[in-house]
Amino acid sequence: MSPVPLALPFWLSMCLPPLAVVGMVYGGWTIALLPISTWWLFTLLDALTGLNRDNPDPHADEGALTWHKAVTLVWFPVQFALLVAMLWYVPRADHLDTGERIALFFGMGVVAGTIGINYSHELMHQKSRLERWLADLLLASVLYSHFRSEHLRVHHIHVGTPRDPVTARYNEGFHRFFPRVLLQCPPSAWRAEVAMLARRGLPWWHRSNPFWRYAVLQGAMLALAIALGGWSGLGLFLVQAVTAIWQLELVNYIEHYGLTRRHLGEGKYEHVLPRHSWNAEHRASNWLLINLQRHSDHHYKPDRRFPLLQTYPKHQAPQLPYGYPLMTMAAMVPPIWKRLMNRRVKAWRKRHYPDVSDWHPYNKGLNPVAP
């Protein structure tokens, strides 16, 4: 086992907020710096830095992770301060036209989705009350608070089965996937929380239902947007929220595309294994995404801190040809995505589930059998 990787590369996300400030002040082409950096710059860095197959000691002392944890703890104040500044400044900036203002908040949404929601994902899996609250605040700032319930109570339990809305079906393009999850995930998350309350003998309206907290936090964010930027500020706030949600669901789409668990009968499925998540060993994009691309190990040990996540050889866990930044761009063009991925799904099924008949009862309503 290798020692814990240095924390400094995982702080690269802190280079992004200054680019938003440059775009606000100067406008024009500088507005493009933010989305270009998250997508294309890290794709280029992936090509230059290569793959990282080193596995840190999963039992490393918590004290060695102080600076790794710190980046996730300080991100909400940084993102929130940037959002407040943009809501106050941009609607009043005479040197920015309407298109530039929208583009700025699109870039803000890219940051909130790529970094903010990803960090909230790390935080919501921890036991610390502070970390979970920071996760809730980050999600509320993009009006997607139910993601915490859906992710913890639905996705991790039912991934790769018909009960998980965010397991992308084989041959399902992103433009079909996206509206489907927007419709299915909130009620799925609500039902999961209500079921949890029922097991404790509590009604759905009990104060411990997190949806009340979600509503208050999201309402406060909307009120803040109006207070700072008026109705124009509200509209721009919604632009960044929708963009962030789009970024999140692009990642959800690629993480489990076409990967399904064997149906064992009577509504039961095999345990989640490393083979049920797509992984990417690309070094730079794992810096940006705090090892989210080591996704198989995250499903194996959901509360494992990101610097300790393990990677697996190809015969145990399927590997994407490129890092998430480039793969999410490919997902926006379904013919390119299917050309890249469908043959890999077929090869995965041939390796792990050669008996196609095993899939027939399972694929009803989920993944058609790969031809």
Domain-located, residue 368? no
pLDDT of residue 74: 98
2 pLDDT more than 90: no
Domain-located, residue 1? no
Indicate the average pLDDT of the chain. 94
What CA–CA distance (Å, rounded) separates 72 from 70?
A: 5
Distances (CA, A) of 336 to 268, 272, 285, 342, 356: 34, 29, 21, 10, 26
pLDDT of residue 341: 97
290 pLDDT more than 90: yes
Q: What is the number of structural domains in the chain?
A: 1
369 pLDDT more than 80: no
63 pLDDT more than 90: no
Domain-located, residue 105? yes
Give the three-state DSSP class for 369.
coil
What CA–CA distance (Å, rounded) separates 236 from 256?
A: 32
pLDDT of residue 370: 36
Query: Higher-confidence residue: 283 or 264?
Result: 283
85 pLDDT more than 80: yes
148: number of Cβ within 10 Å: 25
361: number of Cβ within 10 Å: 9
Query: Higher-confidence residue: 60 or 216?
Result: 216
Residue-wise pLDDT tens digits, 135-189: 999 999 999 999 999 999 999 999 999 999 999 999 999 999 999 999 999 999 9
Total-model pTM:
0.95
> What does the CA dihedral 295, 300, 301, 302 come to, rounded to 10 degrees?
60
pLDDT of residue 368: 40
Mean pLDDT (whole number) for 24-28? 96
What CA–CA distance (Å, rounded) separates 110 from 240?
A: 8
Domain-located, residue 276? yes
Query: Higher-confidence residue: 15 or 360?
Result: 15
Q: Which residues contact 20 (CB under 8 A, 6 or more apart)?
A: 34, 82, 86, 104, 107, 108, 111
Domain-located, residue 3? no
Distances (CA, A) of 237 to 60, 114, 244: 41, 16, 11
Which of 144, 136, 104 shows the shortest CA–CA distance to 17?
104
Residue with tokens 């979970």: 132
Residue-wise pLDDT tens digits, 86-123: 999 999 999 999 999 999 999 999 999 999 999 999 99
Give the three-state DSSP class for 148.
helix
Domain-located, residue 80? yes
3-state secondary structure 45-100: HHHHHCECCCCECCCCCHHHHHHHHHHHHHHHHHHHHHHHHHHHHHHHCCCCCHHH
Backbone angles phi, psi at 71, to 5 degrees: -65, -35
Its domain, for residue 227, covers 8-363
pLDDT of residue 357: 53
pLDDT of residue 322: 97
291 pLDDT more than 60: yes
What CA–CA distance (Å, rounded) separates 354 from 44?
A: 37
Contact 286, 280 (CB under 8 A): yes
